[in-house]
Structure 1
Amino acid sequence: MIVGQIKMRLFIFVSLFWASTFAIRPGPVIQASKGAVWPKPQQQEISETYYLIRPHSFTFKSPDHIGCPSFLDDALTRYWTIIATTISSKLEEKLWKLDDNFLGYLEILTIKLFGECPNENILPELYDNENYTLTIDSDGAVLTSETIWGVLRGLETFSQLIYSEQDTLMINATKINDFPRFPHRGFLLDTSRHFEPVPIILQMLDAMAYNKFNVFHWHITDDHSFPYKSRTYPELSDKGAYHPVRGVYEQSDVKKVIEYARVRGIRVIPEFDTPGHTRSWGVAHPELLTSCFTDNVVNGQLGPMDPTKDITYNFINNLFTEIVNVFPDSYFHIGGDEVEFDCWKSNPDVNNFMKQNNFLSYEQLESYFIQHVVNILDTLSSKYLVWEEVFVNGVELPNSTVVHIWKDNGLSTLNNVIKAGKYGLYSSCWYLSVLHSGSDWDAFYKCEPALLLHTEEEKKLLLGGEACMWGEYVNEYSVIPRVWPRASAIAERLWSDESVNDISDAQIRLEEHACRMNKRGIAAQPPNGPGVCF
């Protein structure tokens, strides 16, 4: 009897233990913050005092006599629309007036632009000053910056400070002094493996602005398709795109993307990868690519571009001259990654060329090709980025070159690039195409690109990094939720101070930010598990 009672008590104890261990609390897994900014500002002081905002009576006060009034007005219209459509505000005045922290109704955000905005066609560039200060106190709200780019970043911050409480828009008194950690905060989108329609790209640009990214790296072509509609060589997309009409970016499409990005303070850097990843070029122009051999017999396969032919460089010169004129950014990504040497090795003409030029390795042959492309861009007054293999394989590059790091052990390679006096751009741990089960944004968040850099001079050579969305397994229906809010974690690493690394704090802010993006029409997936957006 006693033994039975002991067993029963033990059973009850174990049952209660397991029940408490695996008990699930009702409600969201992570309780979202309210009015928290993403990416986290460099310096912020928040007060318990607050204003209410009546959206349809709220307005912006623009500075007088600036060179880009329409540029600014368009930005103010965008952000007024965001604020006005956040929620249907219901004010119960007597309730709020009884609260000692109530400052009144915020009717105006005054914008002060102390620097020059020369004209309406101003372009974002590397090293633009994006600093701003935002003060909301008992005297009102003032956004101050020396540049129009700082104004854009400050407007985004202001819009995020507004939150809903009891169906009413509120904003706390706040002082913010903010600036980016890195000048290059990029997002790469591959539109070759799967064609992404222009409206999807424009949504991506909106989301980039909401996360303070400032570079859209457009990996526009690759082996699988050539969707860029060239004026010089229209046959490239006529034959090399998935579809000559529905699967191409017309010149008007490219212009639209560039302009949409520009007014959001986002640069557009095109990538036309060479000499590898060019199989789609060969559909229309097989003479550009290397013929592959098996036992000294042509086997019908085509490899990388043929580095031995003058016609190859003439073709690249003509196409890249067009590209530099179409894309206004001063940088051009020429690729240079994953060049397979097997086809070159099999081709007798290539091997004879190497002997004639005393090339002892295929890396030297690749260097010969890249040097020709670099010379072409130099004559076009264009700067360039290359993937890390170009540097690792010993290609001689001027110190102005930006080396884009993407492989495993990237921190070590980045360190070598910077020790060599070159500029580095980091992506090794920020491949959004790499999936983990459940929520995985924290892995991107924990990645610190400057881990092995110790001196200020070394850190200056690290321009920043890019989140990369390769297109093998995403299309127009899945790419946006695959990217967001995972890319948001990378955005904060590139904008905020290095010391901002508290996962618990980031969780509650990212929960709010993902919902914020949802309300703005971005199909961001939930970052932390069960929850709800209101």
Structure 2
Amino acid sequence: MEIFKKGVFLFVLTSLSAFTTQAQTVHSLIPQPTTLKEVPGTFSLTPELRISSSPAFTGAAKLWSEQSFGKALTVSPLSGNQSGLAQVIFEQKKATNPADSDAESYQLRIEANRIHLTAATVAGAQRGVQTLLQLADLQPDPRQLPGLNLTDAPRFGYRGMHLDVSRHFFDLDFVKRYIDLMALYKFNTFHWHLTDGAGWRLEIEKYPALTQRAAWRTHRTWKEWWASPRRYSREGDPNAYGGYYTQDEARELVAYAARRGITVIPEIEMPGHSEEVLAVYPHLSCSGEPYANSEFCLGNDSTFTFLEDVLTEVLDIFPSKYIHIGGDEASTKAWKKCPKCQRRIKEHNLADEHALQSYAVRRMDQFLEKKGRKMIGWDEILHGDTPEAPLAEGATVMSWRGESGGIAAAQKGHDVIMTPGGYVYFDSYQANPTTQPEAIGGFLPLKKVYGYEPIPKELTPTQAKHVLGAQANIWTEYVPTMEHLEYMVFPRLLALSEVVWSDSSARDWPGFQRRLQDHYLLLQRRNVNYYRPGVDLEILANFQPNEWAARVEFRSEQYQPEIRYTLDGSEPTARSSRYAGPFSVKESASIKAALYRDGAAIGPVAALPVDFHKAFGKPITYGIRYTNSYPAQGDGTLVNGNRGSFTYGDQQWLGFEGIDMDVTIDLEKVQPLQEVQIGLMQLTGPGVYMPRYVEVSLSQDGKTFSAPVRVERTVPESVNSLVIKDVTVPLDGQSARYIRIFAKNNKGYMFADEIRVH
């Protein structure tokens, strides 16, 4: 994991140096409190403090003392006389109104000789405790707390973080650490993804093979195992990789989380993602053979007996109101061929295999309802939801494939938890993939997380009430270690904490960015291996054809960066022009820029040519239409002057899925041409490939074209890292008005960002 450690020592030194010279303010709290005022005085934390509490808050008071002093201090009953020595008071007061936010609201006042925390509920006291703990870690001297007076309450009742322990197993101590960090930023729900095809992770006493065999696989990394025959191993085999939590360990975690105000929701996958179960109990599959199916046989009564047996033990461990049953990405292939499944469809007058899955979901929901619980499932549980066979009324939908599933569910009256991949999948890249450890794909920078709004505009106020909150997910196919997982989650978790806690009107990116600078000290003190702000610069040139100009902007993850730049292609120095904000250029330029601190460059030189080429803004026609899901800026994308970044989701990469690219550009007059360049991308993880070849042919009348000039692909498929490359086709001064560019799709997706003609 060397990529995570590089430069950490220097960063820590410079960060701590900054903290010795900058005055701390209480306004650095994340998430932003509802109201906050500084008051005179500083409270000193010492083990001699007198701590008193209302009976209901004694646990919260003890937790605070344990976390603050490394041991539980004596907590006395709250009495009428609270004068005298410096003291900390945890006081329960009656709620002022019945609003939902009262369940977790609290008030905190810190003065020179007193800390006074009041709340109506234990959950409110627990949130106040985390504010005290966070506040201490934000100070240069964590024993000195600044005077303040604040009130606070959450925007959403559901504020979740997810952890996939199936693809990679994480031990109980790390999961507790994860819970601690969640609590510090006021999350209240831990979604524990315990089962999936890569391994079963929870002891079930009635089915011991689940942990004796299905919890162990033949390869350590998910990627290696996925590329293998995907076989499971046995506990005790010297080459087995995996692990599981005993029921006592799971109960221990539930209690540990509850002390911190966090509910643990277990997920037991069904009916798909169940290869590990069917490998050891093949009679529950449609084929009856191990390693043949991923979905439970829904025509087999033994399937429901097994699932109810498992859930009965799960319910005994987890007291959560909600139980997650998965429900995503189930294939109907085996069900279509299975006599038992087809008989079930006929007996219950089901429309098709999707309705069969809906039948299974309703059956499991009814089981949970009888046990006094509620079901959560991924948005696929809406499949088959019809007036004739509706989704169970109490079911909650977790919308992950964008927001459409959540919108549809809320409009039908179902509660919804928003978790769309484009905003809260923390297994996505958070910076240029060429600078990062391998990830599953996508691009989710900190600012995009902070900008997420969980309530879609399509919902009416009544429908919006069904949005319980939001959750971030961290899937671990490419996240094999604890250090790597922290790197992917932090500081993005901090951004989401403010999205789900603070009122939307209080969100302010510059303000959050300023407060975040203080939290790097907190994360360092807790030894969190967070993603460090990059020193790479991004140069954007937004072309404006009507004005024949390009608006140039520099972006940096550094806070208030010093950027020096040139426009003539020369290397920037400490004496080059300093960037003060976006500016316009009206002719071709070769821009170079770099970050500087104290007169020295601290990062690589970024370069971008601003090219007013011959095809810029010219008419373009498509012999083959691009893919609807990646339309970028529409037809003019390939000649709008704008270069794409390192993510194909930036609205500058035009996508072609399984189809060729065939475009013709009208230069509007015959003229000599030297070359055509086309920007292309390859990122094999999500299936993006360079074309097999690119051909260019010329015409003066738009009807008769010359024999094409072909350039073969130069980037082999075996290169799985991100490659962005300009393919150049020489034209050697030939004259033409029309240029036809054809790119042969290799497979999967093909992305192009700009065709430049010189």
User: When the two structures are superposed, what TM-score results if normalisation uses the length of structure 1?
Assistant: 0.80
Q: Check the 8 A contact 1:430/1:444 in 2, yes or no.
A: yes
In the aligned structure 1, how far is the partner of 2:528 from the partner of 2:190? 17
Structure-2 change in CA distance of 1:449 and 1:392 (3 Å): farther
Structure-2 change in CA distance of 1:399 and 1:46 (3 Å): farther
Q: Check the 8 A contact 1:34/1:163 in 2, yes or no.
A: no
Q: Check the 8 A contact 1:38/1:211 in 2, yes or no.
A: yes
Counterpart residue number, 2:105: 131
| Cα shift readout 1:230-289 (whole Å, capped 9, x = no counterpart) | 112111111101263761111121111111101101001101011001111112211112
In the aligned structure 2, how far is the partner of 1:280 from the partner of 1:345? 22
Counterpart residue number, 1:3: none
Q: How far does residue 517 in structure 1 lie from its aligned partner after superposition?
A: 2.8
In the aligned structure 2, how far is the partner of 1:164 from the partner of 1:327? 34
1:367 paired with 2:363, answer no
In the aligned structure 2, how far is the partner of 1:497 from the partner of 1:60? 35
In the aligned structure 2, how far is the partner of 1:378 from the partner of 1:168? 47
Match of residue 93, structure 2, among 96, 99, 114: 114
Q: Check the 8 A contact 2:183/2:260 in 1, yes or no.
A: yes
In the aligned structure 1, how far is the partner of 2:265 from the partner of 2:363? 21
Q: Check the 8 A contact 2:102/2:120 in 1, yes or no.
A: no
Q: Check the 8 A contact 2:199/2:214 in 1, yes or no.
A: yes
In the aligned structure 2, how far is the partner of 1:216 from the partner of 1:172? 31
| Cα shift readout 1:163-213 (whole Å, capped 9, x = no counterpart) | 677758543332211011111101110110111111110110010111111
Match of residue 321, structure 1, among 292, 305, 312: 312
Q: Check the 8 A contact 2:284/2:297 in 1, yes or no.
A: yes
In the aligned structure 2, how far is the partner of 1:492 from the partner of 1:164? 17
Counterpart residue number, 1:62: 52
1:258 paired with 2:264, answer no
In the aligned structure 2, how far is the partner of 1:488 from the partner of 1:451? 22
Matched residue of 2:463: which SS? helix
Which amino acid is 1:108 matched to?
Answer: Q
Q: How far does residue 46 in structure 1 lie from its aligned partner after superposition?
A: 2.4
Which amino acid is 2:286 matched to?
Answer: T
Which amino acid is 2:63 matched to?
Answer: A
In the aligned structure 2, how far is the partner of 1:238 from the partner of 1:282? 14
Moved more, 461-470 or 282-291: 282-291
Match of residue 474, structure 2, among 456, 469, 490: 469
Structure-2 change in CA distance of 1:106 and 1:471 (3 Å): farther
Counterpart residue number, 1:483: 489
1:272 paired with 2:268, answer yes
1:76 paired with 2:64, answer yes
Counterpart residue number, 1:204: 178
Q: Check the 8 A contact 2:46/2:143 in 1, yes or no.
A: no
| Structure 2 residue ranges without an equivalent (≥5) | 1-12, 73-83, 217-233, 237-241, 433-443, 535-556, 560-758
Matched residue of 1:62: which SS? strand
Which structure has the higher relative contact order (CA within 8 Å, separation 6+)? 1
1:223 paired with 2:197, answer yes
| Cα shift readout 1:117-175 (whole Å, capped 9, x = no counterpart) | xxxxxxxxx98811101123467431111112111111221233346777585433322
**Equivalences for 1:453-532 in 2 at 5 Å?**
455-477=460-482, 478-527=484-533
Q: Check the 8 A contact 1:152/1:265 in 2, yes or no.
A: yes
**Equivalences for 1:267-416 in 2 at 5 Å?**
267-291=263-287, 301-394=292-385, 396-408=390-402, 410=403, 412-416=404-408
Structure-2 change in CA distance of 1:392 and 1:442 (3 Å): farther
Matched residue of 1:328: which SS? coil
Match of residue 426, structure 2, among 429, 432, 442: 432
**Number of paired residues?**
467
1:41 paired with 2:33, answer yes
Q: Check the 8 A contact 1:441/1:527 in 2, yes or no.
A: no
Q: Check the 8 A contact 1:58/1:106 in 2, yes or no.
A: no
Which amino acid is 1:465 matched to?
Answer: A
| Cα shift readout 1:355-375 (whole Å, capped 9, x = no counterpart) | 454433211111121122122
Q: Which has the larger radius of gyration?
A: 2
In the aligned structure 1, how far is the partner of 2:50 from the partner of 2:334? 61
Q: How far does residue 77 in structure 1 lie from its aligned partner after superposition?
A: 2.1
Counterpart residue number, 2:115: 141
Matched residue of 2:295: which SS? strand
Which amino acid is 2:87 matched to?
Answer: I
Q: Check the 8 A contact 2:355/2:383 in 1, yes or no.
A: no
Which amino acid is 1:238 matched to?
Answer: Q
In the aligned structure 2, how far is the partner of 1:357 from the partner of 1:389? 21
Q: Check the 8 A contact 1:51/1:171 in 2, yes or no.
A: yes
| Structure 1 residue ranges without an equivalent (≥5) | 1-25, 85-104, 117-125, 293-297
Higher strand share: 2
Alpha-carbon RMSD across the aligned residues, in angstroms, is 3.1
Structure-2 change in CA distance of 1:168 and 1:142 (3 Å): closer
Matched residue of 2:505: which SS? coil
Moved more, 184-193 or 311-320: 311-320
Match of residue 152, structure 2, among 178, 191, 194: 178
Q: Percent identity?
A: 27
Which amino acid is 2:184 matched to?
Answer: Y
In the aligned structure 2, how far is the partner of 1:474 from the partner of 1:257? 22
Higher helix share: 1
Matched residue of 1:305: which SS? coil
